[in-house]
Amino acid sequence: MKILIDIGHPAHVHFFRNLVFNLQRDGHQVKITARDKEVSLALLGAYGLDYELRGEMHTGMLKKAFGLLSIDFRLLGIARKFRPDILMGVHNPYVAHVGALLGKPVIIFTDTENVKIASLLTYPFADVIITPVFFKDVINPEKHVTIKGLKEIAYLHPNYFTPQRDILDTAGIDEKDRLIILRFISWGASHDVDLKGIRKDKEKVFIDTLSKYGKVLITSERPLDNWLEKYRIRVPPEKMHSLLSYASLYIGEGGTMAAEAAVLGTPSIHIESTGDGRASGELSGNFMELRDRYGLMYFFASQDEALTRAIEILEDPHSKAEWQEKKQRLLGDVVDVTSWMTEFVENYPGSFENYRKKQSAKS
């Protein structure tokens, strides 16, 4: 079988890489296409995954609209040469459009709610839409498949991930130091419209306050002011999860890394507000589950509330150990997402038909 997988974000490299290895091990051909966003290409190279560029990253709604057509056209040409049996992506309109044009099945994974434009451009053209079971948006039940797991489990499950302690030396962290990771994002994605994070006038307050409790390092999508550059994390991107696993706290913008920290058992605080002043985490089934069921994450619209909670966590000498216990409870409840995906793809369409039959029997 031939499978085409499109990568639009660094997290998608992580999500799909173990699936790709499994499929290749089992004799399938996998074609990876990608755009040059942040460290996506560096990650693909680090994992030895061949890829073909299918278009640049576009910022601004008008450029994104024109970019959609150009990427569709480019991806269509690549797909016609490869002749895939299945196309896959994460909330990815491009593979959905190309699959529809070629008359080939499209499997989409998503865990992000309240992204209406992206959903309108993707869902009607997809054959299967896979989400976590606690996903909050309503999806056509004829296409919807749910799994008890998070996308981060696909690469941070102990079956696939073991933290490497030498990353502390690489990052210049003494083992007796407490590490605090602060995250800034670019706010350039379509789902970031009307969302806000940490104000620039608050950056120094965060640094000064958090530095009282440990060494602060910054990971940032956007350019940093000169005075912040000395805090930037300088480790290979494929080592970032090891660093995150040893941190005493993650705090900042960016939902993916907030969820990754939680899954790794690192206290996690997400800061993001909607246009009407709500914490965006209230719109996310993943975040609600991680906070309410497992106590692994907090999310706030208010920067002051977030910083207050961060201080409470850092002043508790047992917080990291408590989060590690919570992580074990999460891991005991979820499925191995990569193993599940491998079986689903290799047995498609029978796997989807069996799922639909089980769902019909329950209802």
Q: CA 306 to CA 300: how far, in whole Å?
A: 6
Residue type, 172: G
Please give the Cα distance from 263 to 305 (Å, whole number).
23
pLDDT of residue 2: 98
Tokens encoding 291: 């906070």
Element at 252 (helix H, strand E): strand 249-252
pLDDT score of 340 = 98
Q: What pLDDT, on the 0 to 100 scale, is given for residue 119?
A: 94
The whole-number pLDDT of residue 336 equals 97
Q: Is the dihedral of CA 97, 98, 101, 107 positive or negative?
A: negative
- Beta strand extents in the chain (DSSP E only): 2-7, 29-35, 52-55, 86-90, 106-109, 128-132, 144-147, 179-184, 215-220, 249-252, 268-271, 297-300
Asked if 28 contacts 48 with a C-beta cutoff of 8 angstroms, the reply is no
Q: What are the mean pLDDT values of the chain's consecutive 10-residue runs (363 residues total)?
A: 96 97 98 91 96 74 69 96 98 97 98 90 97 96 96 97 94 90 70 59 91 95 88 94 97 93 98 86 95 97 93 97 98 97 98 91 75
pLDDT at 193: 43
Q: What is the pLDDT of residue 187?
A: 42
Which domains are assigned to the chain?
2-149+335-355 (3.40.50.2000), 167-333 (3.40.50.2000)
Q: Contact 255/272 with Cβ under 8 angstroms?
A: yes
d(CA 316, CA 264): 19
